[in-house]
A and B are shown apart, each in its own frame.
Chain A
Amino acid sequence: MDIGKDLVAASATPLVLAILSEGESYGYAIIKRVGELTRGELQWTDGMLYPILHRLERNGFIEASWGTSEIGRQRKYYRLTDQGKRELEQHRREWNVVDAALRGIWHSELNLALQDG
């Protein structure tokens, strides 16, 4: 399934923040986690994750530090800040509203369809 560009863009920030709320992580692992969570249905262009991470870092929602990877290369790790936790909470409330609304309407559509049938 192809998810539209706008929805991919809109969901990127809460997804990244939510994944980082599970613990410190780095770019490649975040992309992999997105793949797992959506069973490969949400495909990001890998490179595009980085401008998003850097914007979140600049806004103070996440902070970065350099560490080393398992093969000894330099790797940049990201961690959620307190401000980022509040931001994630805000996103969660917004998405819940949208989610509830859509579920509600689709649920009633389903009921109507069942009644008609």
Chain B
Amino acid sequence: MKSTNTSVRVEERLTIEDRIIQWREHLRRHAAISSVDVEELEDHLRSQINTLSEAGLTDDEAFLVAVKRMGDLNALSHEFAQEYSERLWKQLVAPTGAGEHSSGSLRDALAAVGFAIAAGVAVKLPHLFGVTFDGSPDDESFYIRNISLLVLPMLAAFLAWKRGMDRVGVMKVAIPFLAAGLLMNLIPFVQLGSTEILAALHLPMALWLVCGIAYMGGNWSSHTQRMNMIRFTGEWFIYLVLIALGGGVLTGFTVFTFQSIGLDAEWFVQTWLLPCGVAGAIVISSWLVEAKQSIIENMAPVLTRLFTPLFAILLISYLVAMLWSGNGIVIERDLLIGFDLLLALILALLLYSISARDPMAPPDLFDRLQFLLVISALVVDVIALVALSKRISEFGFSPNKVAALGENLILLSNLGGAALLYARFLLKRGTFASLERWQTSYVPVYLVWAGFVVVLFPFIFNFQ
């Protein structure tokens, strides 16, 4: 008899403990109430329950009365919000109430600043060997070939450090960098020729994906990790743009203030502030993305939501105008590059809406809009390609043309595949996850193509 009695009591105590935990979790969801305040309020609730239990109430009754006396949580949260309005604005650089993480985040911040300084120094390192920014074509050629090789290793190193990569993982990142460094400086490019410039343009793309390997902690075959890397890229870019805006203001004031005392600071801006600043910002942005991951909503999907309808309207009205006026596309030399950029943009809109979407959710209006956008981009691009195909041989197969055409075909087949999978999803014959997987499976294609342009184009086109 006695034993059953205690087991009942134990059960009761468990449930009241559970209910206190539930109450606490509910309280935690209010942004204005920090975890320290939750502790304090929980202590109050427990004291109240104890007193009431001692006065003869059952645990359940005591809990109910104590919660009632504590008051409506929404009203309480409102009071806290008036006292601590800053808590509703999530703080990125100085997180509050997360005492246990602060030493880790300080360490990260110091490391980020360290690697950013290293990147800034790396940009100027060739000056020790007499290679400068304002120098001869020799110097210019050196810099366009090597600039990404000077900066991006610092980003990769920071990410590898952050991920705590082992030796095998570090090799996966270091070997491509070393190979790229050797190739860029051993291939006998014609100075500032097309293949050299194309290589210089495609190398950062390839190396960015190598940095992505560091970001993924060397786990490049995981599709989830690849999607994270896509998210990272979008957020990183947004931070870089924001830093660039601030940097622009800083630059303006640097020139202006020194001018007012008759000193010319422009040389300093151009040879030090700008190059070192950009190099540092590349590392700092990646740290900001890492630091804020769970604190702030991702920006890229928000922008995507905003611009997808607008671009859909643009493309459809463009098609309508073309049909209505009967005007064909005027073929100019840079036409293909323009359409490449358009497709890349549409792809970005698609990627970042995919990255933020719940794959289990059924198709909604936005999905149809996105589908419409992809289809109209495909139609526009195919019209442009058809118009060009007649003339493409007239232009001859210069490196630039082949690169632009190759990129166009890569993006076209990506969007074509995406459109097909999207249609199946909208008709409920396929899943959204397959569309996501298509995009993450496609990532290596970009790496292979960029590598191809960097390494094989010079040989195909005789280093011109």
Residues of A within 8 A of B (CB): 26-28, 31-32, 45-48, 50-51, 54-55, 58, 69, 71, 73-76
Contacts and interface: CB of A to CB of B under 8 A. Distances in A.
Contacts of B73: 47
B41 interface: yes
B80 A73 contact: no
B76 interface: yes
Given A28-B48, A46-B48, A51-B82, A74 B43 contact: yes
A27 B70 CA distance: 12
B83 A47 contact: no
B44 A46 contact: yes
Contacts of B100: none
Contact of B43 (A47, A51, A73): A73
Contacts, number: 62
A61 B273 CA distance: 48
Given A50-B44, A55-B83, 16 more contacts: A27-B43, A28-B43, A45-B72, A46-B69, A47-B41, A48-B71, A50-B41, A50-B76, A51-B76, A51-B80, A51-B83, A69-B47, A74-B39, A74-B43, A75-B43, A76-B39
12 contacts: A27-B40, A27-B44, A31-B44, A45-B69, A45-B70, A45-B76, A46-B71, A48-B71, A48-B79, A51-B80, A54-B83, A71-B46
B37 interface: yes
Interface string B27-63: 0000000000101110110111011000000000000
Given A45-B70, A45-B71, A51 B79 contact: yes
Contacts of A71: 46, 50
Contacts of B83: 51, 54-55, 58
A45 B385 CA distance: 72
Interface of chain A, helix or strand or loop or mixed? helix
Contacts of A55: 83
B37 A50 contact: yes
Interface residues of B, number: 23
A47 B47 contact: no
A98 B69 CA distance: 30
Interface of B: 37, 39-41, 43-44, 46-48, 50-51, 69-73, 75-76, 79-80, 82-84
A75 B39 CA distance: 8
B420 to A, nearest CB: 56
A81 B41 CA distance: 23
A107 to B, nearest CB: 37
**A47, A55, A58, A71: residue with the most chain B Cβ atoms closer than 10 Å:** A47
A75 B41 CA distance: 10
A47 B82 contact: no
B53 to A, nearest CB: 13
Ranked nearest first, the 4 interchain pairs of A and B with the lowest CB-CB distance are A45-B71, A28-B47, A47-B76, A51-B79
A50 B83 CA distance: 10
Given A45-B69, A46-B70, A47-B71, A28 B76 contact: no
A58 B43 CA distance: 21
A58 B73 CA distance: 22
**A51, A58, A75: residue with the most chain B Cβ atoms closer than 10 Å:** A51
Contacts of A27: 40, 43-44
